[in-house]
Every structure is written in C-alpha cells, then in structure tokens.
C-alpha cells in the first residue's frame, strides 16, 4: 500500500470531482466503480467512462482497495462511516472542501479511523455533475491531505499516491489549518464574487453592455451551485467569519473615507487601501509556483472569427517565444476582440516587432 491503487476503487458520488477522479483512474488502468444516490448520475458517469455503475453490474463489484467519498459535506460523515463498516479491508478518503467539521463528526461516531484519510483536491469548475468532469482536472493542482492522529501510515501513503498519480501536488496539514486556509483563499473569494454579482440583478441591460473584462473576472465564480455553497459556508463558518470581519473593517474604513473624500488624509487613505491590495495580489504565486514573477504585457487586436486566436498562438510559438499568460476581452457589439499576451520582459519588444511586421495590430 505504498503505491497508487492496484486493486479496485469505489467512488461514492458521481458528481464533478467523483467522475473526474474516475476518468483519471480509468486512464491509468485502475478498475473503478461508481455509486451514487442518483441512478441517472451513476449511469451518466459510466457512459462518460468514469467507472462501472454498481447498479448496472449488481453483485459483480469486488472488495475495493480504496473508497473515495465525493459527496456534498452534509452527507460525507455518514457515508464515510458506512464505507468503513461495509469494506473492512479498504482505505477510505473523502474529498469534501471542509475538513474540520467532518473529522469531528467522524470522531463523535466512535468509528475506527485508522483507515480514514481526509483529503481535498483544490480543483473544480463552476459547473457541476458528471457531464462537467474532466480527466485532467487535477493536473498540477494542489491536493491537501489531512490525516488524523488515528490515521495509519499505510492509509496516508495510499491516498497520497492516489493524488500524485492523478497529477496533483500534495500538501499535508491539519484539518483546522486547512479550513482556515481555504476560508481565505477559496471560500471568501466565492462570497465576494457572489455579493458583487448580486448587485447586478436590477441593473439595466444597456448599462451591463458597457462592462469589461474586469467585471467578468471578478464575477466568474458567482455562477457556482448555491446548494453546495450553503453546505460549505455553514460547515466552515467558524473560519470564514473572521475573514469576513476583516473585509467588513476595510469596507467601513473606505466608506468613512469616501463620505468625506476631500478631507485631509482621505486621498492618502484611499491610496493606501489600493496599495495594500497591490501588496496582497503580488504575493499570489506565479504559474510555476514559488514567488510571483512579473511579465510584460502587450495587447493584440484580433478578428472575432474562428481560428484567429489559434493562429496568433501558433505564430508566437513559431518564433520561439513562450506564452506565459493569455487573457481575452471582447468589444461589445464589435467583430473584434483584444488578446492580452504576457511574455518574458526581455522578449516583449521582439514580439511586438514580429507581430507588427506580419500584419498583426498591437494596440498597447
């Protein structure tokens, strides 16, 4: 049990995460089975190749080596306990996005947790369900392991190997440290995005037509599943509330300042608030991890027709310049778009010259 599963794996919950794990395991040649409260979700999971439906192949599933509980947090505890009892030789892990409440719930049942490992792949999409599953969902993404004091080393090694085989980068921490961390880097962004998007409900459509990429970026995750987030925010409330109080203090500070925008010190206070945001944003790791790295940007005007972006990216690759990042923006009502390209600073002028010489219009 020091390597990834070589026996069968049962995935309980054929939603986005469960089906994506199944797709990855099947690609690795691991025998994978699906169990879901919804017959439809279970059948769709089998149809997309995420595993064999336990219903469709009743009585044929062997004893699994590993059980992955990939269900909403409000039923995770009961399903983990059930799996530990039903499969006494299997290691059980869950992939819920909160860990402390689940661990405390499991401890309260008195279950033997030597074969249990809490884990959380930090990957997902705004879409849900098996049809949204992707086999590459976990590639290069963090996967947190939250072993308890009862967890056997062999169980921890198996779940760690699972995450590594699925392409993830493993981090280990306690359940409480995990919850405090995700409250700030995952749950708070969801709340802020949803609160901002809620301000748009009564905004006239001709006003929204003026919106740019900034509004789209900051409200992208506001399209997430409300039912799931009720459970996540409730389960991790103790960690989220302090973060919200911090935001509340900053908002009140800004409100007080802007109520008297020309008072002595007001402009400095606004500048400090924005600068504090600059400092925080600069600490977010770059695409390769570690310290963030500054890249040079340039914006290219592109026709909004099929193949144009692919042609641009191919051209950049052919001249030997690595594309570090790409953002697309569209001009509402116009058949053109803007491609903001990020490259190494010492290659920017070379790229501008090459693009201009070959007929591309660099606008900034």
Q: What is the pLDDT of residue 87?
A: 97
Span 140-190, pLDDT tens digits: 999 999 999 999 999 999 999 999 999 999 999 999 999 999 999 999 999
pLDDT category at 211 given cuts 50, 70, 90 is confident
Average pLDDT, the chain: 91
Per CATH, 9-173 and 180-247 having the same topology is answered: no
Q: What is the pLDDT of residue 135?
A: 87
Determine the Cα–Cα distance for residues 283 and 201; give it in Å rounded to an integer: 33
User: Is the pLDDT reported for residue 88 higher than 90?
Assistant: yes
Rounded average pLDDT over 85-102? 97
Q: What is the pLDDT of residue 104?
A: 96
Report the topology of domain 9-173.
Rossmann fold (3.40.50)
Rounded average pLDDT over 301-323? 90
Rounded average pLDDT over 113-132? 86
User: Is the pLDDT reported for residue 333 higher than 90?
Assistant: no
Span 52-64, pLDDT tens digits: 999 999 999 999 9
In this structure, of 255-269, 327-341, 344-358, the range with the lowest mean pLDDT score is: 327-341
Q: What is the pLDDT of residue 2?
A: 45
pLDDT category at 113 given cuts 50, 70, 90 is very high
Percent of the chain with pLDDT over 70: 94
- Hey, where are the domains in the chain? 9-173, 180-247, 296-362
Span 255-309, pLDDT tens digits: 999 999 999 999 999 999 999 999 998 888 865 555 566 788 889 988 888 889 9
Q: What helix, strand, coil percent values describe the chain, rounded to 5? A: 50, 15, 35
pLDDT category at 239 given cuts 50, 70, 90 is very high
User: Is the pLDDT reported for residue 1 higher than 80?
Assistant: no
Rounded average pLDDT over 94-98? 96
Phi and psi based region of residue 33 (left: phi greater than 0; alpha: psi -120 to 50; beta: remaining): beta
Rounded average pLDDT over 16-38? 95
Span 180-247 CATH architecture = Orthogonal Bundle (1.10)
Rounded average pLDDT over 69-86? 97
3-class SS of residue 188: helix
Q: What is the pLDDT of residue 19?
A: 95
Q: What is the pLDDT of residue 269?
A: 95
Q: Which CATH superfamily is domain 296-362 in?
A: ACT domain (3.30.70.260)
Contacts of residue 69, defined as CB under 8 A and 6 or more positions apart, other chains included, come to 12, 13, 76, 79, 80, 83, 92, 93, 94, 95, 96
Give start and end residues of each alpha helix (H) in 220-290. 226-235, 237-258, 266-282
Beta strands in the chain (DSSP E): 9-12, 32-35, 52-53, 66-69, 91-94, 116-121, 142-146, 169-172, 296-303, 325-330, 336-343, 361-362
Q: What is the pLDDT of residue 287?
A: 57
| Strands 66-69 and 52-53, sheet pairing | unpaired
| Strands 142-146 and 116-121, sheet pairing | antiparallel
Rounded average pLDDT over 32-46? 96
Contacts of residue 290, defined as CB under 8 A and 6 or more positions apart, other chains included, come to none
3-class SS of residue 121: strand
User: Is the pLDDT reported for residue 6 higher than 70?
Assistant: no
User: Is the pLDDT reported for residue 356 higher than 90?
Assistant: yes
Q: What is the pLDDT of residue 273?
A: 94
Contacts of residue 127, defined as CB under 8 A and 6 or more positions apart, other chains included, come to 16
Percent of the chain with pLDDT over 90: 76
3-class SS of residue 1: coil
In this structure, of 135-144, 283-292, 330-339, the range with the lowest mean pLDDT score is: 283-292
């Amino acid at each position: 049990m020091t390597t990834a599963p070589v026996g069968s794996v049962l995935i309980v919950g054929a939603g986005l995460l469960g089906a994506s794990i199944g797709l990855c395991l099947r690609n690795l040649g691991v025998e994978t089975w699906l169990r879901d409260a919804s017959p439809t979700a279970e059948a769709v999971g089998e149809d997309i190749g995420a595993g064999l439906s336990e219903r469709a192949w009743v009585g044929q599933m062997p004893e699994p080596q590993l059980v992955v509980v990939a269900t909403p947090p409000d039923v995770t505890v009961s399903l983990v306990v059930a799996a530990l009892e039903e499969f006494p030789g299997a290691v059980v892990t869950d992939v819920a996005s909160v860990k402390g409440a689940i661990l405390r719930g499991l401890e309260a049942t008195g279950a033997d947790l030597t074969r249990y490992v809490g884990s959380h792949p930090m990957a997902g999409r705004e879409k849900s369900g098996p049809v949204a599953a992707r086999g590459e969902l976990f590639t290069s993404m963090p996967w947190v392991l939250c072993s308890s004091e009862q967890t056997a080393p062999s169980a921890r090694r198996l779940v760690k190997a699972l995450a590594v085989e699925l392409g993830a980068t493993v981090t280990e921490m306690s359940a409480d440290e995990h919850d405090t961390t995700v409250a700030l880097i995952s749950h708070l962004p969801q709340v802020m995005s949803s609160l901002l998007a809620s301000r748009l409900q009564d905004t006239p459509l001709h006003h929204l037509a003026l919106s740019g990429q900034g509004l789209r970026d900051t409200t992208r995750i506001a399209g997430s599943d409300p039912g799931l987030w009720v459970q996540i925010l409730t389960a991790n409330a103790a960690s989220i509330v302090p973060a919200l109080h911090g935001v509340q203090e900053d908002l009140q500070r800004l409100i007080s300042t802007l109520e008297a925008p020309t008072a002595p010190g007001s402009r400095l206070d606004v500048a400090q608030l924005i600068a504090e945001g600059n400092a925080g944003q600069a600490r977010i790791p770059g695409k390769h991890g570690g310290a963030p790295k500054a890249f040079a940007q340039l914006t290219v005007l592109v026709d909004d027709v099929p193949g144009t972006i692919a042609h641009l990216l191919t051209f950049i690759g052919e001249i030997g310049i690595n594309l570090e990042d790409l953002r697309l923006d569209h001009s509402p009502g116009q058949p053109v778009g803007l491609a903001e390209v990020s490259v190494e600073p010492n290659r920017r002028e070379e790229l501008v010259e090459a693009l201009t010489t070959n007929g591309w219009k660099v606008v900034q």
